[in-house]
Amino acid sequence: MEREIRILNDGAAIAKRAAQEFVESATSAVREKGSFNVALAGGSTPKALYGLLVTDAALRSQVPWDKMHLFFGDERHVAPDHCDSNFRMATEAMISKSPLKPEQVTRIKGEYPATEQAALEYEKIVREYFKLKDGDYPRFDLLLAGMGSEGHTLSLFPGTKALHAEGRAVVRNWVGKLYTERITLTAPAASNAARILFMVTGADKAPALKAVLEGPYEPEQLPAQLLQPKNGKLLWLVDTAAGGMLATGIRE
């Protein structure tokens, strides 16, 4: 695995750099196999990235919109028009302003009363799309991820059952501290991606980020440590506030 840590000024600089990565990942995937699939993340920094891809003319023209398929790394237990929905955020920031067709977007049905049904249905669609055999995991060309101030990523929270979901690509996860259910890709499914791109901003993330990147391997406490591409590239884009405690990393 190839790991790179880049420390940038702020969220805007991260979004710009992430957009370059997005385009590079997309063009190389299309060149290799004629298609590009990406798992989107929620959060404010990814939102800025999505906005750039449709509003920046140079970037927009480089995105292979017609060869792209969007998935989601996780979703809240809410309807698609709810203000907390990752799908709604991505739709408002990018999808609705892009030439993407509805069949190019696979969302997680967070509105189902039973999150297990949503997880199973999403897993089935993912398995069919990637033509997976039992026990295989999807190979996303690019997976976008964020990190919480306690080291969670996707909806993989410290001490939750989803950290031990062997054999499943998608699971529901009860997050007690938020008193809510989530639907999330599992760590093995996410780690099978060709590229994982973390975007992390804010001083409140600094201790957890140092622990994830430079501390001992304790994924029960710091689930972000679980996202390690077995055969791919891992890029951390962090702002100066989040990266304030790091001893490693290239400052841009």
Structure tokens at 248: 């490693």
Q: Per residue, what are the HEC states of the chain?
A: CEEEEEEECCHHHHHHHHHHHHHHHHHHHHHHHCCEEEEECCCHHHHHHHHHHHHCHHHHHHCCHHHEEEEECEEECCCCCCCCCHHHHHHHHCHHHCCCCHHHECCCCCCCCCHHHHHHHHHHHHHHHCCCCCCCCCCCCEEEECCCCCCCECCECCCCHHHHCCCCCEEEEEEHHHCEEEEEECHHHHCCCCEEEEEECCHHHHHHHHHHHHCCCCCCCCHHHHCCCCCCEEEEEEECCCCCCCCCCEEC
Query: Which residue from 36, 81, 173 is spatially nearest to 118, judged by alpha carbons?
Result: 173
Q: Whole-prediction pTM value?
A: 0.98
Which pLDDT score is estimated for 1?
Answer: 80
- Domains of the chain with bracketed CATH: 7-138+150-203 (3.40.50.1360)
Task: For the chain, 252 residues long, give each residue's pLDDT as a single digit of tens.
Answer: 899 999 999 999 999 999 999 999 999 999 999 999 999 999 999 999 999 999 999 999 999 999 999 999 999 999 999 999 999 999 999 999 999 999 999 999 999 999 999 999 999 999 999 999 988 999 999 999 999 999 999 999 999 999 999 899 999 999 999 999 999 999 999 999 999 999 999 999 999 999 999 999 999 999 999 999 989 999 999 999 999 999 999 998
Answer whether 52's CB lies under 8 Å from 13's CB: no
